[in-house]
Structure 1
Amino acid sequence: MKTKFLLLLLLVFHSLFSQRTIKDSLLHQSIKESIKPYFKEVNIIKSAKFFFNQKWDSVIIYSNRYLENPSKDTFMNNFIHFFKGNSLMRKKLHKEAINEFRLISNEFHYYYIVEMYLGEIDLFNKNYKEAISKLEKLTDLNKDKYQYIKKKSILNNLGTCYMLLKKYPKAEYYFNKSFKNEKDTIELIGNYNSIANLYYEQYIDDIAINYFKKAYNLSTNLKLSSALRNSYQYELERKILNEKERAAFNMSVVEENRKDFKKALLFRKEAEQWKDSLNNRARIYELGQKEKEFAVAAKQKEVDLLQVENKLKETERKIFLYSAIGLLLFLSIGAYFFREKVKTNKIIAAQKETLDELNTTKDKLFSIVSHDLRSSVNALKSSNKILLDNLASKNLEALENLLHKNSTIVNGAYGLLDNLLNWALMQTEQQYFSIEKQRLFIITEHVAYNYKPLLLEKELNFENTVSKREFVQADQESLKIVLRNLIDNAIKFSQPNGFIKIYSSNTIEGYTNLIVEDSGLGMSDATRLKLLDDSVLLNKKEHEDIIGTGLGIQLVKSMIKKNNGKFDIESELGKGTKMIVSLPKTVLDG
């Protein structure tokens, strides 16, 4: 009967080893600061970028390119070996990872993390004594070093090593130390199961069973959500289901050893139920992946078709332009011969005005396509390539993250294409423009939802406090275009860890102000006045590293004017920007 618990012990070992012992976000930020002086080195920057995004194959490729002609800079060579060794370890290429880690000098700032990696590899390969010799050095580091690694996970791994070596007192010491003051329920369940297995291996059944019961009782309190909305939630629920399955399975073996086979069967069925639930959710995600791949392909075809249509329209405009030029030449010659200079000049002026209007319409249409679809299309192209790479390597975790991101992009792009078509029709006076009473909060919430992936990617705090009782008179689709441009600009000109706020106010009688505020780069007063001017589009950029020519703001002003509204900007360089849209106000009936 103890053989069954040996299998459980191995499950515990796998769970402990698979914990994230690195606090990624803090470590990545520290590494970014360290390698700032080397931003001109392409292979170094690309290796770091893919390391932060956990694209291990790409890290290995660019690290190898750098190492083909390595510099004499030991500091940078250490980072390259660190990136490459970490990637090899994540791909389970342990022998190659060890060789890479051994090329790192002892003076490397993160050498203690290298020691931890080597210890975990020894643990995975069942070299328990070697793992202990490395991991025990990490139990008494300076406090500042624990901001990058999880001390509790190191203690847990040490407990596992000693338990597998049957040095139970030492194992008990490290297990108890690892979950001292533990508050996370999922972590606590794992710790209870570990200490229970330890006592059970020593035939101290009463204490072991008590811990198994604690783990099971805690697992029954873990709740699952009704719907999976993102990859983080899926990962959390995967852990919950694993712990529920493991706790129920442990209790089934306990009851089987106590000869209470009825209870053992019930617990075993419960464990199978949680296992089936986990498998079902995994299959749902896999099916969703296929559906989204088809959706991406279909959307790409729509984009290609729109590009072909735009090319045809451009050809038509060129033909018209050449015809107009020929007509102007003919009229000029006729005017010369018939001395109808005044009449000819009027015709030429009228033709020029027509051509200017056509060119203006063409420029606006192209500006919308480039301004609004550029980010979505590029994101879909690059994400689809990464998706195919990860599908080939069966990297399920990365696939889940990419699929969720692609779903958000595709949904946003679909609505965006529809809005762009309506806008183009409006410019050619074929669009039905309807100003009606609109609930401002619902529109802002709907538009902002499509930007959540970009906000998360840039680590921006977002807050929508528009009053739910605010109603305005506006055309819904054109108002969405205004909001998309303002939010897009706010994200573009914001630094990581900044904030973006959307809120409403009532400072102008008869109008409701909708304000999009960011903590970004801001602008000078001269630039602000140019943006508010109804003249030609801006060519000079306030910030040379930010892409943009002011086309979006011109579109915003045009749409606000169509809605009988007003537009204003408040900004200072380095202190953020407020984009203020004032729309005719209406009140809630009753």
Structure 2
Amino acid sequence: MTDNMKGTKDGRKQPDFVPFHNMHIQLYERQYSEVLPSILASIAVYSETSKNDTLLYLSYYARGSFYRKKGLKDEALASMLQAEKISKNIKNPPGNVGFYSDIANLFFELQQYEDALQYYLDLLHKNDFSANKKLQGAIYNNIARCYANIDKHDYEKAESYYKKSLAFYGKFQDSLNLAAVHLNLGDLYFEQYKDRLAVDHLKKALLYSEVSEAVDIKDDIYFNLSLAMESAGQTKKALEFYKKYVEQLEGIWNRDRIWGLAEQEKKFIVDKKQTEIQLLEKEAKLQKMQLDTKRMQSNTFFSIAAVLLLLLLVGLYSYSQRIKKNRVIALQNIQLDELNATKDRLFSIIAHDLRTPVYLLKESNLRLKKALIKNELTDLEKQLDLNINMTENTYSMLDNLLYWSLEQKNGSFYKKEQLPLHSIVEQVLVNYGNALKIKDIRLDKNIPEGIQVYADSNAIKIVLRNIIDNAIKFTQDGGFIKIDAGIYENQAELVVKDNGIGINKAMLDTIKSGKTVRQKDTSGRTSTGLGLELCRIMTEKNAGRLMIESEEGKGTSVKIVLELVKK
């Protein structure tokens, strides 16, 4: 059994990524009651193989998040700390800021304020902290709460971080969070007997809570205002705020009571309907008894009719089964013909298209040997470049043959992800420096770095490799190839254009119809035609399009349209 496969109950092999994939799908679809077995299976697989620290880290992270959602905070923290230990082996762990924020929050919820404070402070130095607008204000606020709650209260630092949180939320006019931070800051001043400052911030908290309709914190604001006013000697004001506090609690109680009454009303309606159903059932039973008497008189007729109908159904069933079997046989014959055609094509490619480059490589090696014996260094370097180019072309042909075969068997696996288009093109072009140099082809590129596409990395590289390879093969020595990219109508477009020998109209129409064609390149070698077919299949499976425009003698332009990552 290979390292990346596990046995199943029926003896077949299951890929190691299946438990993680199931876990990911169940979390995405919020199937929380079913996800724990998948999480534990994923941890077991990657703990055993020790070959994918990233997926093991994510599995422990998922288990911690699950336990936290279920209220098991100690177990959640233990899983998170295990995930943190594994993340030390990963260069750029996914979800870095959010992950450490979750650990800090768990320490805080468990009232381990010293540990929580250390994690919150470490977050400030993370590379992606400033980019995470969702967490910044909350982290500042939680740091302040830690300083206020640690054994050696540091009110000065707590005040400083509360003010940072206020400044952050103020930029976005976030009334709800501004109300919460002003409430916390008012409490801080009250603990230090700074009653005037406490009252000022509690009043601001009240104002923002009314703007944001933050009903759930209003009772705390009213209660704290009553305490602060009483401490400041304003007994009348304190009494007013305490009354509002009581009214707020009564409002919450009334709301809950209304919900309870609504539930009771709903139950009453259901019970009433149930009673009506029971009465209808009794009435139906009475009618059934009356009908039974009439049915007994016609039983003989129905028995005969049933026998005749049964014979008819048996005949129809036999006929339909025969038709179904004939259809299955016809479908199997069609599939067999397709498999035979695929097999014949593979043998044809292996027998003819691969024979030529291998023969040329053999002849080139003989010339290379002669140049080496004669110590003709110039010819030797030239022959080596030719050998490298022929080897790369042959490898590319074999690669296309492999992926085409997989597509015919529906065996390819696609994993779409966010990809930087500029980097993908640069990675592909690295392999073609020698081929461009041999044919003295000028390459122009204009690919903005900000374009992000959503596609499978391997599939897009294969598509680009085939298109660029064709452009080089069908462009004469001294020609040019231009690669442009841009965003049009919320889609990413990549255009590869050359001034090569081009394609005549009849052949272009054949290509656009989805059929493969054979064409000789500038060196006289005939291409298999698999490359463009493979490009079309892989582009469409990545929710994209492939468009070809060409004019014989003037060159070819290939446009790839891909899904753009939405910002």
Larger Cα-atom Rg: 2
Higher relative contact order (CA 8 A, sep 6+): 1
User: Which range, TM-score by smaller chain?
Assistant: 0.3 to 0.5
TM-score of the pair, normalised by structure 1: 0.39
TM-score of the pair, normalised by structure 2: 0.41
